[in-house]
Structure 1
Amino acid sequence: MRMRLLGLISATALTACGGGSDTTPAPTPAIPVAPAVPVTPQPPVVPPAPSTPAEPTPPVPVSPPTPTEPTPATPVTPPVPVAPPTTTSPGWPMVPPVTVMPPVPVTPPVTEPTVPATPATPASGPYTLPARTVGDFATYTDVTMGWKVSVTQRITKVNANGGWENADSVSQEKGPQTIEVFDGQGGMLSTNSSGYGCIVTYAPAALQAPPSASVGASFDYASTMSIPCSKEESSRALTSKGKVVAIESKTVAAGTFTALKIVSSETNFDLRTSGASANYWVEKTCWRDTVTGLIVACNTSTTSKGTGGMSYTSASELASFSQAATKREFLDPIRYAGPWTGSFGAYYGTCDVNITFTGVITGACKAAARATSVTGSVDKAGVVTLSMSVSGGATGTITGQAALFDMGGTLAGAAAPGNWALKHK
């Protein structure tokens, strides 16, 4: 199951790897300028001759009876020429009316939105993956056949050529972290996540979408997956063909994004001529954020034929992330989900805890002289609070700080002095 799950999740992030959304706030409702003028540009109103004592006529007639006195916004003496009406582009906010006369023209904002204001009809691209930074991370949820897990991918190394390495943790699994290596184009070069007990390589790098993409662009990639430690299948053939079909607004747990919609078909075939195991056909629709380059969601339908052949669907989406290059992030406790283990000093001993998707912590500690139950929580900022209840004894509270794959703090009460530390399994 780990091979299958991580294959899907890792594939999801091939061309991806900060909070919240990159969607531009809704425009401020337009406020009519007083006095109201028609939206169709009018020639300037000619001021009355100085010798004529008549009152200035308002630019827009008012329903009878007609006021005999000028409106509050119209200066009485001397008459001031009325500025021509100013039109605004759809989607741009209008400047609020001013109270000091004479009136001034309405001007559009000088700062352009960072993403297209109307997701349905933005520019088509191209949109290119931004630079990676050590410490960037993305957490995804994946639901396959009703089983939900989360995967957190953290960049641990960036090369001079733009390539990088991910260290991954899975919420429902224990064991060594998965290490994935990518080239500067976002293609996977190697991984140890396939369950073979060795490093699997890809030549050329396994790409699933172009690093720079525009609406209408198509792609066709092929790669060979080599498995040096397998006594059965030594290699598999991978293909990915698809097209960027649109730019859409996509809302997921981590926010709302303006994203490239990418539709593709993939295959994964055993290259043995006899005794071949399952082959896979995958139909996939994914959305890639135009700003961060992160895959924000994927819907996948997989059919396998051969040993254990079956069909199933999967849905994955971005739940938490942080990216230094674009200064975008969305923090959520789900990035800490999964099993953790560590030491709480001689008093409490070794502790094993589990963190849920919402940051709830439960577990237990065992020392030579006592057993302790642990409850607590970690919030979206990584602040940890733990309640330590010694069997047949007192209850104490300790606090600390969590990072993606480790957390710790200072012991207190009966356990002091000393420190505590946990690492993600």
Structure 2
Amino acid sequence: MYLYTLRSVSSLLGFMVSGLVLTACGGGGGGTGGGSSSTTESPVPQKTFQRQIPLAGDSFTYQHQVKDDKGLSWTYYSTEIYWNPYRNATGSLSILNDKLPKTGYFFAGTNTSATFSYSSYYDANGAEILFSPRSASVLPCSFAQPYQTAQSPYTVGQSWDVNAVLGCNSGSAVSTYKTVRDTGNVAAVEDVTVAAGKFTALKEVMTLKEVTNRTTPSANVAETSKDLSRTCWRDTISGQYVKCVATGFDADFQSATPGGSKNLSISSELIGRLNISNAGVKVLPRFAGRWSLTIGADTRTNFIEIDQNGVVSKVFELSAGGLTTDATTQLLNASVSNEGDLSFTLSTPAANGINGMNGSFSGKLDTVVSGSGTLKLSNGYTGTWKMTRL
């Protein structure tokens, strides 16, 4: 389905500073004579940082904390993962050789269990060129020009002023979904320690203004959806942000208090990272969100939802081997371990099964986007199941 992210191996990169070269100019004599002398300082080379190309299967997991000025707060999680970057593609796919697809999965950990996902494409310099919110009704969406902020190779002093228009296809027409003004600069290189490790990072100071266009029954209305001041730290190796803090207005978060403010403080931190060999910093929230579940050869889509603590809940109806589930079905002892081991038991009342039916699921989520295992029912039926990210 989707596979994704940048290699997140971090190392500390020092600055290389050249020595001072002294030259003497004599006024009719040697260096010890009565002539004048001067020193000339050679220019110090600017240190650059080249981001590594992402590998399919690399993933990054974040915790985001939001507070408004009424004292309310939200916590949510996201995992970003890169998939096949079309290296050495031929034919019509050759145009995608330098594109780096990335898919993100979001899960709200407090106040709501809402989930959604998106897909983006990036060029080799890290510029976002396509954005597809999979929950949107108009797809796909793409920027009229690459959304390029800091660009690899990175240097202190880089700046940007992005005016980006995101348009979405709706049938044969393309409508503006949002406009973005992003200005900022790379202010410094600093060592940053977060839950996922220690990184040498670019400190980026920026402002973001975003206007979303929404359609009402009577008219198209443009509303300010973001007006934020942000400081972020970007890993010099992966090019991935490891920490961000922001303040300002963000319409994506609505206060639960009637008339409550959307003036917020937002902090984001990298809490987990894995490379394609499944090595790195493992955290349970990497599995958080909604998954599709299929039983055997049955092509019907059933749903499983996993929260940030590895607790599993069901939002599905399935039928297999005499077991039929509905709203009265109980899901017992359901959990996912930090290694991805998944197990749960379904219990149905007698009216829905053969004298009442129990079914036990066990298996493993072997990546952040896929898993498989076995189903055993109390009537002796044994089958297989598969799960994939939605």
Unaligned runs of 5+ in 1: 1-15, 23-113
Aligned partners of 1:389 and 1:396 also within 8 Å: yes
Is 2:248 aligned against 1:302?
yes
Is 2:286 aligned against 1:360?
no
Identity of paired residues, percent?
Answer: 22
Alignment correspondent of 1:317 = 269
Distance 1:237 1:369 in 2: 50
Alignment correspondent of 1:424 = 389
| Structure 2 counterpart of 1:208, from 117, 139, 149 | 149
| Structure 2 counterpart of 1:142, from 64, 68, 73 | 64
TM-score (norm 2): 0.66
C-alpha distance after superposition, 1:71-105 (max 9, x if no partner): xxxxxxxxxxxxxxxxxxxxxxxxxxxxxxxxxxx
Name the amino acid aligned to 1:385: S
C-alpha distance after superposition, 1:87-138 (max 9, x if no partner): xxxxxxxxxxxxxxxxxxxxxxxxxxx41489xxxx9732122111111222
Is 2:48 aligned against 1:126?
yes
| Structure 1 counterpart of 2:186, from 240, 244, 249 | 244
| Structure 2 counterpart of 1:165, from 82, 86, 101 | 101
Report SS of the residue matched to 2:83. strand
Distance 2:74 2:362 in 1: 32
Is 2:227 aligned against 1:281?
yes
In structure 2, the CA distance between the partners of 1:391 and 1:276, relative to structure 1 (3 Å rule), is closer
Is 2:233 aligned against 1:290?
no
Alignment correspondent of 2:363 = 400
Name the amino acid aligned to 1:386: F
Distance 2:296 2:175 in 1: 47
Aligned partners of 1:360 and 1:377 also within 8 Å: yes
In structure 2, the CA distance between the partners of 1:420 and 1:275, relative to structure 1 (3 Å rule), is closer
C-alpha distance after superposition, 1:381-401 (max 9, x if no partner): 222233444547686654211
- Compute the displacement of 1:205 (Å): 0.5
Name the amino acid aligned to 1:133: L
Distance 2:211 2:348 in 1: 55
Aligned partners of 1:173 and 1:339 also within 8 Å: no
Greater Cα offset, 385-394 or 215-224: 385-394
C-alpha RMSD over aligned residues: 3.9
Name the amino acid aligned to 2:148: L
Name the amino acid aligned to 1:319: I
In structure 2, the CA distance between the partners of 1:372 and 1:408, relative to structure 1 (3 Å rule), is farther
Is 2:163 aligned against 1:222?
yes
Distance 1:276 1:385 in 2: 47
TM-score (norm 1): 0.61
Kindly tell me the number of residue pairs found equivalent between the two proteins: 308
Please identify the structure whose Cα radius of gyration is greater: 1
Distance 1:202 1:232 in 2: 11
Report SS of the residue matched to 2:52. coil
In structure 2, the CA distance between the partners of 1:420 and 1:206, relative to structure 1 (3 Å rule), is same
Is 2:207 aligned against 1:265?
yes
Alignment correspondent of 2:24 = none
Unaligned runs of 5+ in 2: 16-44, 68-72, 88-96, 108-112, 215-219, 252-258, 351-355
Q: Within 5 A, what are the aligned runs for 1:6-405?
A: 17=6, 22=10, 114-116=11-13, 125-145=47-67, 146-160=73-87, 161-171=97-107, 172-173=113-114, 177-193=117-133, 195-229=136-170, 234=176, 236-269=178-211, 276-278=222-224, 280-303=226-249, 310-324=262-276, 329-344=280-295, 352-363=303-314, 367=319, 371-391=329-349, 397-402=360-365, 403-405=367-369
Greater Cα offset, 166-175 or 237-246: 166-175
Report SS of the residue matched to 1:334. helix
